[in-house]
Structure formats: C-alpha cells, structure tokens
Homo-oligomer: A and B are copies of this chain.
Amino acid sequence: MSSMAETASAPNSLRDSYRRIRRHSEALAAPLSAEDCAVQSMADASPVKWHLAHTSWFFESLVLTARPGYRSFDPHYGFLFNSYYETLGPRHPRARRGMLTRPSLDEVMAYRAHVDAAIEALLEERAALPPDFEIGLQHEQQHQELILTDIKHALFSNPLLPVYAADAPGPGALEPPQWLDHAGGLVEIGHGGAGFAFDNEKPRHPVMLRPFRIASRPVRNRDYLDFIEDGGYLRPEFWLSEGWAKLQEENWRGPLYWLQDDDGRRSYFTLRGATPLDPEAPVMHVSFHEAAAFAAWAGKRLPTEFEWEAASAQIEFGAVWEWTRSAYDPYPGFKPFAGAASEYNGKFMVGQLVLRGGSFATPTGHARPTYRNFFPAQTRWQFSGIRLAEDI
C-alpha cells in the first residue's frame, strides 16, 4: 500500500506503464478477502472484483477482439462486465453486480492474466497501437480510485466498521488557505497540447472571465465544523432548493462517514477504520449541495470550472476532488472519441457537475489541470471537497 500512485504517462515504455497500472489494481485488492471483493453496497458502487474484471474486459473488447486469432477468455464475460456500452451488447444490470459470486475472484485473476498475456503479445509486435489502448490505461486508473471509494462505502455498510488497510492513505493535513486574485479576461480553456487527454477536455477554446479571487487550498474539517455548529444543516437560506429537499429526505447532518457518539464526540470512518476527526485535513465526502451551502454560509461561492482551470497554476490541489459551480456541458465543438469509446464521456453530459483537481486516491499523473471529473449534485461517496471563490 506504500505507493498508491501510478502513472500512465511515465517516461518509460508503454509496456512498463501497462504492467505497472495492471499490477497496481491488483495491489489495491490485496488487503481484501474474496468476500470483500464481491460485495456491492449500493447501485452506484461496484464490487472490487467487478472493477478488476471490467477493466480487463475493456482491453479485451476495445483492443483485443479486433485482433486476428484472439480467443476470448469466456464468451459470457461480455454480458457480465460491460458497464454501459450499448454498442458492445446487452449487460447485467448495474444494481445487481453484487450477485456475481461466480466467476470467483480467482477466476477473475485468471481472466486478468489471460488479457495481460494477449496484450503483451500485441506489444511485442511493436506495431502501432490503437488509440483505445491508451484509453484503456487511463480507464483502469479511473477505476483504481473507484475501487477505493466503493470499498470504503461497502465497509461502512458493515456495523463492525472494518479496516481496509492499517496503512491506507488519506488526504493529509493542509495549511490554511490564502486568497489569490485573478484578473480574468479571455483565457484558454481545455486541453490543447501533446499527451493524452479525454475527449471531454477538448477542444481548447477561449472563455471570457471576470476578475475573481480564489482560495489557494480546499476547506478543512475545522471550517466545516463551524458551519455545522452554526446550524448549517438547519438553515434553508444557504441551500439550493434541491439540496435542501435531499437533506431532509436523507436526514443529512454532516458529511458522509462522519460519526458522533452519545457524548457528541466526533470521528469519521476512513480506510483505516474509525478515527478522530483531523481538523486540518480537507473536508471530504460532501455533495455539491453541501459545498454550495458551505460557500453561501461563508459569504463566498464555488469557482466555475473555467476559473479553477485559469487559476490552476497558482493553487494547491490534489488532496480532494473539488466541486465547481459548473454543470457538465460539452465544450463548444466537442467531438466524442471514435468507435465504442464515443460512449465514454459524451452521453453523460447532462445533470451532472464538474469536479476538478484529483484526490489523494487518484493515481499520480492521471489527472491534469484540464481534467474534468463529473458526478450528480447529491453524490457523497467520492473523495469530494470544497474550494471557495468570490467576485472581486
């Protein structure tokens, strides 16, 4: 567990990247039993075993199947491990992934080995690789973070609050944020240079910004506690209408995973089990609604994704994903990836919010300042936090 981070864009060869990324997924599963790897605690989360299989299926379906002579490991696996690609055939329902006690974890590991051998053979040929190969690497890195968010949720569903790993990483402590000014004006947004980027980061295009001020670091638990103790969860004036409805429906009284004993002492559930609240750590596991309400309480607002990106060179990020005040809309001139990968991002561009930055659980080198993560406004099981901004 010492090195949670792996990179696809390392200076090493693609083979090295492939090997390291594949091994890292398996390392993330290593502290878990086969039982742990099979459980699904809600429809939005997937079993660890499913992640291990799905990432292999992705390489198989988008890279290997087209190769002459490739023999599928098991023709049923497409049905089991396709996530949402309509182009690639029907699927097992998402909410029932936890029913898949078969194939066993051992069989899934054998499936991974089978795919690895075929990819190694492909790399051996030194022919030009299809673009979906690189997407496959980035895809597996995304699932590495999901392995951690999903198993955290699953373990929290157990009243014993079991530990994922005694040395599991977390976001760490942060210095207090400083305010930074940005002059606004016409800024270039999106990915335009060399290196991998997802289709949703393109094309690079100019966006006009007003002058703004942005915090150098995310909001910390100590600040969020002030919000709670000032009645933040009891005062509708801070909340968007949908957020206030959700708060009441689900009886939110603090971030997901926060605990309070009968004497009012606070702690929270982490990948290392239940621990005292670290006041200096960035608050995480808040929804967009909580982020926006906190900002309103503080007399500030959330930055747009454009402000965030324009200021990205000056700010400190990477501990927690940061909700922005931007809906996940396509960039002007957006063109999806070709082929089955066209379903990767574009078809989700409605009803979600953009998060920026990356978290302690994002493999190093995976994210970029132009990277656009996205989740619905009520999402709380991701490593999602808050950065403040304001008009000048």
Contacts and interface: CB of A to CB of B under 8 A. Distances in A.
Interface of A: 33-39, 41, 76, 79-80, 84, 86-87, 92, 96, 98-105, 154-155, 157-160, 162, 186, 205-210, 236-237, 239-244, 288-289, 292, 304, 325-330, 332-333, 343, 347-351, 353, 377, 391
Copies of this chain in its oligomeric complex: 4
A102 B162 CA distance: 7
Contacts of A304: 329, 332
Contact of A34 (B34, B242, B243, B349): B34
Given A242-B350, A350-B242, A100 B329 contact: no
A237 B243 CA distance: 32
Contacts of A79: 159
Contacts of A242: 348, 350-351
11 contacts: A33-B101, A76-B159, A99-B157, A205-B208, A210-B332, A240-B348, A240-B349, A241-B348, A242-B348, A243-B350, A304-B329
Contact of A208 (B154, B208, B239, B326): B208
B98 A347 contact: no
A208 B207 contact: yes
Grouping DSSP codes into helix (H, G, I), strand (E, B) and loop, the A interface class, with mixed when no group exceeds half, is mixed
Contacts of A37: 35
Contact of A35 (B104, B206, B332, B391): B104
Contacts of A205: 208, 210
Given A242-B351, A327-B329, 6 more contacts: A86-B236, A101-B158, A241-B348, A304-B332, A325-B330, A333-B391
